[in-house]
Amino acid sequence: MATFSAIKILPHYPTITARSISDNIKPSSPFLSTPSLSFPLSSSSSSSKPLRSPRPLLASSSDVLSSKKPLSSNSSPSNPVVTREESLELYEDMVLGRAFEDMCAQMYYRGKMFGFVHLYNGQEAVSTGFIKLLSTADSVVSTYRDHVHSLSKGVPAREVMAELFGKATGCCRGQGGSMHMFSAPHNVLGGFAFIGEGIPVATGAAFSAKYRHEVLKESGPDGLDVTLAFFGDGTCNNGQFFECLNMAQLWKLPIVFVVENNLWAIGMSHLRATSDPEIWKKGPPFGMPGVHVDGMDVLKVREVAKEAIARARRGEGPTLVECETYRFRGHSLADPDELRKPDEKARYAARDPITALKKYILQHNLASESELKTIEKRIDEVIEEAVEFADASPPPPRSQLLENVFADPKGFGIGPDGKYRCEDPKFTQGTAQV
């Protein structure tokens, strides 16, 4: 395998839908030496390194759907790759995500929510494309950019909004906030503020699925429960990422590592931070397939996701999926977003996943314009209702402060009077001292 000292994607990139990447990468950094080391073009679509395990056809599945234009690809108007119901489900979910995030921005600037709020605008195709394939028993682990993952997984918009407003009716009783969305009924395992720290948790959830199957002999009828770990390009330089790729492949855990590569980690360009920016390539060195997919195209994401999730469910182990995507807003609502160039933003805005899916639906006659408008209107109502609910909900009372510190409040210890502190009826009004 040739080694690279430069990051240069050649324009002819036969096997991967990296067309957009090649547009973006310019060898402008002084750290890049002269490019042009040829990429070893192998006939297989995965990396050039020979591997023991059979290479699945994952990478080439995105070939099938790849084309010059973001959508429409190989399907003709009479052969859409999704059914009508599926397409409407996808559309509704993406519109929900977008509308919710836009409302978050509004509410933030009106002083209803505080702190760090990270919005997902532009990346909806990844969340919808993956999560809509999951069942309730499957788990999702995310980062601080977790509102839309929670919504896609089924957490009601009103609970997420109430959580953002810091109300007691929020999904985490107001104790988590924007960056810590959890939902036990929907198996949303967070919501993590430090990047990378959710990946081991996701690996643990996948481990528990395997454990349940092999040790406890409890398995679902369809196979192992799958865990999806979502994280960004910046995380892929973090130790926990690599450590978990190793462990997941070692034990063939039912997990899919989904990289939402939006090219920017706050103000750090992915290219300035990463020696080899092609993240999907980091799968095969650990023995798992690495796939790159156009993350602005929900149908392509869905096709790749189907295969990756099915692999995991069958017990064949993890997959690393790199979704090339983009966030239309800044890193957070506090980010002035000055470093990204307007032409880059414009290029991606033209590939808005919602607009693209709408076009696809109409082109393939899966639904009419008015039906889509109805969906949008319904979503608007859902969001309005969510805001009203959150507004009307009470903030958490003082007595809630000490609840949930310990699952077993005996952990607060024994007081001088010989009784457990938590047995004192005024305990929750007091201070947390141990």
Partner 1 sequence: MAAALQMAALVSSLSNLITSGKSRPGSLIRSPAGRKGGILVVRSDGRISGGFSASPRGGNLIANAVAAKAEAPASSTPSKSGHELLLFEALREGLEEEMDRDPRVCVMGEDVGHYGGSYKVTKGLATKYGDLRVLDTPIAENSFTGMGIGAAMMGLRPVVEGMNMGFLLLAFNQISNNCGMLHYTSGGQFKIPIVIRGPGGVGRQLGAEHSQRLESYFQSIPGLQMVACSTPYNAKGLMKAAIRSENPVVLFEHVLLYNLKERIPDEEYVLCLEEAEMVRPGEHVTILTYSRMRYHVMQAAKTLVNKGYDPEVIDIRSLKPFDLYTIGNSIKKTHRVLIVEECMRTGGIGASLRSAIIDNFWDYLDAPIMCLSSQDVPTPYAGTLEDWTVVQPPQIVAAVEQLCQ
Residues that bind partner 1 (CB under 8 A): 139, 141, 170-177, 180, 182-184, 189-194, 197, 199-212, 214-216, 239-240, 243-244, 246-247, 250-251, 403-408, 410-421, 423, 432-434
Residue at 317: amino acid letter = G
**Structure tokens belonging to residue 223:** 């196979």
Q: How far is the CB of 331 from partner 1 (least distance, A)?
A: 20
Distance between CA 192 and CA 406 in Å, rounded? Answer: 19
Asked if 351 contacts 88 with a C-beta cutoff of 8 angstroms, the reply is: no
Our CB check for partner 1 shows the closer of 100 and 412 to be 412
Our CB check for partner 1 shows the closer of 120 and 241 to be 241
Asked if 316 contacts 308 with a C-beta cutoff of 8 angstroms, the reply is: no
Q: How far is the CB of 240 from partner 1 (least distance, A)?
A: 5
Our CB check for partner 1 shows the closer of 161 and 244 to be 244
Distance between CA 233 and CA 282 in Å, rounded? Answer: 12
Q: Which of 290, 292, 258, 289 is nearest to 14 (CA)?
A: 292
Q: How far is the CB of 132 from partner 1 (least distance, A)?
A: 22
Our CB check for partner 1 shows the closer of 336 and 418 to be 418
DSSP code per residue over 31-67:
T-----PPP---SSSS-SS--SSPPPSHHHHHHHH--
**Structure tokens belonging to residue 67:** 């084309």
Q: How far is the CB of 315 from partner 1 (least distance, A)?
A: 13
Our CB check for partner 1 shows the closer of 258 and 298 to be 258
Our CB check for partner 1 shows the closer of 39 and 412 to be 412
Q: How far is the CB of 227 from partner 1 (least distance, A)?
A: 8
Q: Which long-range contacts (CB under 8 A, 24 or more apart) does 151-154 make?
A: 151/93, 151/96, 151/97, 151/100, 151/127, 152/93, 152/97, 152/127, 152/128, 153/183, 153/186, 153/187, 153/188, 154/183, 154/186
DSSP code per residue over 135-163:
-TTSEEE--S--HHHHHHHT--HHHHHHH
Q: How far is the CB of 179 from partner 1 (least distance, A)?
A: 9
Distance set, CA 79 to CA 36, 67, 76 (Å): 40, 16, 5
Our CB check for partner 1 shows the closer of 205 and 279 to be 205
Our CB check for partner 1 shows the closer of 163 and 307 to be 163
Q: Which of 213, 208, 221, 244 is nearest to 318 (CA)?
A: 244
